[in-house]
Amino acid sequence: MKSVYFDSAATTRVRPEVIKAMQDVLEHQYGNPSSTHAFGRASKSIIETTRKTIAKELHASPQEIIFTSGGTEADNMILRCAVRDANVTTIITSPIEHHAVLHTVEELRNEYDVTVEYVKLQACGTPDYDDLERLLTANDERKLVSLMHVNNEVGNILDIDKVSSLCKANNALLHSDTVQSIGHYKWNVEETPIDFMTAAAHKFHGPKGVGFAYIKKNNTLKPLIFGGSQERGFRAGTEPVHNIKGLETAFVLAYENLDEEKHYVEALKDYFKTQITKAIPGVKFNGNCSDNTKSTYTLLNVCLPMSAEKALTLQFQLDLKGIACSKGSACQSGSGKGSHVLEHILSEEDQQKPSIRFSFCKYNTKDEVDYVVGVLKEFVEK
């Protein structure tokens, strides 16, 4: 039995170079970065070098990069602090954001009585930009727009330049969950003005448990976590130096090899799309994921032509065959809850069919695609 990992949108395999860099820090650079002796200064240097590396790639200032435990913490921190410290009274988001955003804005609605508005979606799941403009111009309330750059389930790419322009024209703050974007797309915060961004290292072949928030320096947010002066006083707690080094190594390698690896992964996705279309008549691609100009090159979300009853065992059967992927609808695994993303963009009929997200990386091969498509074909036909 083969072992195929097509779930890189959930988390990626760590690069060997990253493991080596982290191991070296764990073994030799174990000083507390807040200590003033040589061991501490060596650890502090790793952190500040990483901060500069990230800032240079994003065309940001080092002081605008704050290390966190990952994207969820960064999203929570930014949204909560924006309401508490930046006089935000209205949050505009979409119903298909990551739950790190959706659950947070609902909590903020309950705690601070902020108004939460959900922008309408086009049929494919892309935000309706005319409706966004309508929401931005509806009143003079202080607004924050929170829209993810790359949707983690269907891969739709937000027109971030258009959203940035709309926010700037209406004096609104802009936050984007860029967890599926950083490491896969280039960013320039000078050309595309944005107030807040978030990233997680494990989405681009780095370690879990570390990420960063980009917080534009003109914003006057205050700490959410207290207890020390780490991260320029914005986030207390002893920094995980080995994880931050792993983040830097993964980040550098992602952008050094971006063109080559993007070309390879995009070709692999196109091959998967071609093969599954030939093998399974009636297969559909959810959202914009079949169009690489409107969706990320790293994933496909497919709706398979089979009954709801048969779909119940699909995920189990794929796992038995050694295939790792992510389910996308309620009719699999006996779950009472389906994908909130697909719920908003699929017809009721297609919601009864199984949708599976396959996500790819540099370590995948065409042989793996052939194997997975063969397993799916056999299951659909039997």
3-state helix, strand, coil split of the chain in percent (to 5) is: 45, 15, 40
Contacts of 180 (CB under 8 A, 6+ apart): 9, 148, 149, 150, 151, 152, 155, 203, 296, 298
Q: Which two tokens stand for residue 327?
A: 């389910």
User: Annotated catalytic residue: which of 81, 325, 331, 361?
Assistant: 331
User: How long, in residues, is the chain?
Assistant: 382
Picking from 242, 377, 274, 260, the residue whose alpha carbon sits closest to that of residue 323 is 377
How far from 135 is each of 85, 130, 143, 338, CA to CA, in Å?
A: 22, 9, 9, 28
Picking from 193, 251, 188, the residue whose alpha carbon sits closest to that of residue 59 is 188
Write down the H helix ranges in the chain.
16-28, 38-58, 71-85, 99-112, 129-136, 160-169, 241-256, 258-279, 308-311, 314-320, 340-345, 348-351, 366-381
331 given a catalytic annotation = yes
User: Which residue numbers are catalytic?
Assistant: 331
